[in-house]
């Protein structure tokens, strides 16, 4: 075998090894996005199971606040539907509605001292608040995973393999401007 053939084989081996390393990195990022989504999904499911208990507890005390309770249930169903479909954009909108509904529910609950004193209400409120914090933390991790994935599949030379093997960008989980704005509590106390 000639020296040029050996050099060519070594170069081909190095290129193939480099391509495998790039490909494996892209696969790892893709699965990181999936794992981050699964982490959010776990908390969304837990919250989905806790909300009916909270609403039922509130119903016992808040007979004339039916519209508030119905909005929370409708928002819960919208989140559930978006989560089951894996629609990140719809999930962001539904989450905004649910968080607004929960905020209103907790604010209205302030008018019911016997509800606030209820052990089950306090427990559920703390549980849901904890889940909300967990969802926020995991949303941040999910968006970081998505960002790493999206940047990597656009960078050269990764973009060549990403296109060849059909790697796709993932969507960030974003909430509306209303979600990020300061909450105006004045109308709740008028």
The pLDDT value given to residue 64? 65
152 neighbors 25 (Cβ within 8 angstroms) = yes
Nearest to 173 by CA among 151, 147, 149: 147
The pLDDT value given to residue 143? 92
Helices (H), 60-164: 66-85, 88-109, 113-117, 119-152, 158-164
Q: Is 91 exposed, middle or buried (0-12, 13-18, 19+ CB in 10 A)?
A: buried
Q: Is 188 exposed, middle or buried (0-12, 13-18, 19+ CB in 10 A)?
A: middle
For 128-145, b/e burial (b = at least 16 CB within 10 A) is beebbebbeebbeebbeb
User: What CATH code would you report for 3-189?
Assistant: 1.20.1440.20
Nearest to 82 by CA among 94, 100, 66, 70: 94
pTM over 0.85: no
176 neighbors 92 (Cβ within 8 angstroms) = yes
Structure tokens at 141: 């991790």
- Binning pLDDT at 50, 70 and 90, where does residue 158 land? very high
The pLDDT value given to residue 176? 65
The mean predicted confidence, pLDDT, of the chain is 84
At 27-54, the pLDDT tens digits run 999 999 999 999 988 888 888 888 888 8
At 74-125, the pLDDT tens digits run 888 998 898 888 888 888 888 888 888 888 888 888 887 777 777 878 888 8
Q: Residue 164: CB partners within 8 Å, gap ≥ 6?
A: none
Structure tokens at 28: 């790892």
- Binning pLDDT at 50, 70 and 90, where does residue 179 land? very low
The structural domains of the chain, with segments of one domain joined by +, span: 3-189
């Amino acid at each position: 075998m000639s020296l040029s053939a050996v050099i060519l084989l070594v170069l081909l081996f190095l290129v193939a090894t480099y391509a495998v390393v790039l490909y494996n990195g892209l696969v790892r990022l893709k699965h990181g996005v999936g794992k981050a989504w699964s982490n959010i999904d776990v908390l969304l499911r837990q919250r989905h199971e806790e909300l009916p208990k909270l609403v039922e507890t509130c119903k016992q005390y808040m007979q004339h606040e039916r519209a508030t309770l119905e909005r929370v249930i409708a928002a819960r169903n919208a989140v559930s539907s978006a989560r089951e479909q894996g629609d990140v954009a719809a999930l962001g909108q539904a989450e905004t509605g649910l968080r607004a509904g929960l905020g209103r529910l907790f604010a209205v609950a302030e008018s019911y001292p016997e509800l606030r004193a209820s052990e089950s209400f306090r427990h559920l409120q703390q549980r849901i608040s904890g889940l909300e914090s967990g969802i926020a933390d995991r949303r941040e991790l999910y968006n970081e995973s998505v960002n790493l994935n999206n940047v990597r599949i656009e960078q050269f030379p990764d973009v060549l393999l990403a296109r060849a093997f059909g790697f796709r960008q993932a969507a960030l989980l974003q909430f509306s401007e209303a979600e990020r704005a300061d909450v105006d509590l004045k109308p709740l106390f008028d």
